[in-house]
Amino acid sequence: MSTIGDVAKRAGVSAMTVSRVINNSGYISQETRERVEQAIAELGYVPNALARSLRFKQTKTLALVLTDITNPFFTTIARGVEDTASEQGFSVIFCNTDESKDDESEYLNVLVQKQVDGVLLVPAASSPASVAFLHERGVPFVVLDRRIPGVSVDTVRCDTDQGAYQLVCHLLDLGHRRIAILSGPAAVTTAADRVSGYRRALAEAGIREEAVYYGGFTVEGGYQMARQALAVTPRPTALFAANNFIAIGALRALHEAGLRVPEDMSVVAFDDLPPAFVIAPFLTVVGQPAYDMGCQATLLLLDRLAGKGDGEPQEIILPTELIVRRSSAPPCDPTP
C-alpha cells in the first residue's frame, strides 16, 4: 500500500502538494495537479483514514450494539441505521451481544479504543454500567428500543406498555378472560413494560387472574413458556407472546399439543415478522416501526455529534400499530 509520500516522490512534488490535490484546497497549478493525479492513479493510492482520523479526532464511524442480529426486528433497525448513517458519510460497525452483559462491555471497550464517533446501544441489561462507561469517556450515544431506569439519556423506543395494553384490550374485546403473557427476561425493560401494559388492561377490565411467564426472547423460550401455560387448569384461552420468536415457539408448542389457532387458542404477539418471511400473514400483532427507529436514533446521534440540540437528554417514543389478523378470535368453549 502506497502512502502520500510515495505519490509525492513519483510526481516530483512534496507530500503537502499531493494533499492539496486530494482535498482540493489551496493553490495548485494545472500542470502539477495532472502530474499528481497520474501518480495517484498509477500507484492506486488510497489515503490512510487512520492517519487522518488520528489528526482530526473523527473516524466517521458509528457503532450499533444490539442483542440479537438474527432477529428481523433488529435487522430492520440495522438497515435504518445504515441507510441514515451512510447518507451522511458514516460507516457502521455492528456488534452482537446475545443478551450478554459481559459481551456488551467488552464490545464497548473495543469500540472506544477504535475511537468510534458515537454508539447506538440496545442494552442487554437495565444496569447503567454501559451508559456510565460511555459517558465517562465522552462518547456520545443513543439508547435504542429499551429503557435504562434511573438515568436520563437520549433514547429512541416504542411505547411498548401501550402496545401491550392494546393487544390485551383486543383480546378482552373478543371475550377472553384467561390470558397468559409469555414475556422476555424480567430484567429487560421491554419485557417488563409489556407485562405492565398487560396488567393495566386486565385491571381496567376488573380481572384479577393473571398468568405471567418470563423466559428468553427466543423460540425455545416461547416453547417452554407455552408448555407451562398449557399445563395450568383451567387453561388460558389466549396467549400473548412478547416478541416474534416467542410467538413462533408458542405456536410450535400448540401445534405439538394438537391445539388449533384460533379455534382452540388465540395468539397475539409483539413485533411483526417482515413480509419477506411470511407467505400469508396470520398473526395478530402490534408492529413497531423498526426501520424508522433506526433512522431516528441515528439522526439524533448525528445531531449530537454536530453539537446540535440544547444538550437536554431527549426521549423519542414512537407509536405502535395494532394489526388484527386471523390468529385471534372469540374464545370457543371453556374446556379443562
Q: Pick one of DNA, a second copy, none as the site partner of residue 82 (Cβ within 5 to 8 A by kind).
A: a second copy
Note whether 101 binds a second copy by CB under 8 A.
Answer: no
Any contact of residue 22 with DNA (CB under 7 A)? yes
CA nearest to 167, candidates 327, 316, 59, 280: 327
Give the three cell numbers for residue 157: 423506543
If we measure between CA atoms, which residue out of 150, 159, 163, 123 comes closest to residue 317? 159
Site string for DNA, 187-206 (x = CB under 7 A): --------------------
> Which cell numbers hold the place of 315?
426521549
27 touches, from a second copy, DNA, none (C-beta below 5 to 8 Å by class): DNA
Cell, residue 43: 500507484
Cβ-contact 267, 167 below 8 angstroms: no
Q: Is 61 in the site for a second copy (CB under 8 A)?
A: yes
Partner interacting with residue 13 (select from DNA, a second copy, none; CB below 5-8 Å by kind) = DNA
For 281, residues 6+ apart whose C-beta sits below 8 A from its C-beta are 272, 273, 275, 325
Query: Do 182 and 250 contact (CB within 8 A), yes or no?
Result: yes
Instruction: Choose between 109 and 203: whose C-beta lies nearer to a second copy.
Output: 109
Nearer to DNA, 33 or 252 (CB): 33
**Residue 165 or residue 217: which is nearer to a second copy going by CB?**
217
The span from the CA of 229 to the CA of 231, in Å, is 5
Q: Which is nearer to DNA, 46 or 203 (CB)?
A: 46
CA dihedral 75, 77, 82, 88 (to 10 degrees): 180
13 is an interface residue for DNA by CB under 7 A:
yes
Look at residue 23 and give the partner it binds from a second copy, DNA, none, a contact being a CB closer than 5 to 8 Å depending on partner kind: DNA
Q: Is 152 exposed, middle or buried (0-12, 13-18, 19+ CB in 10 A)?
A: exposed
For a second copy, the closer of residues 220 and 315 by Cβ is 220
Pick the binder of DNA from 24, 27, 231, 311 (CB under 7 A): 27
Q: Binders of DNA among 28-57, rule CB under 7 A?
A: 28-33, 47-48, 50-52, 54-55, 57
Instruction: Return residues touching DNA (CB under 7 A).
Output: 1, 3-5, 12-17, 19-20, 22-23, 25-33, 47-48, 50-52, 54-55, 57
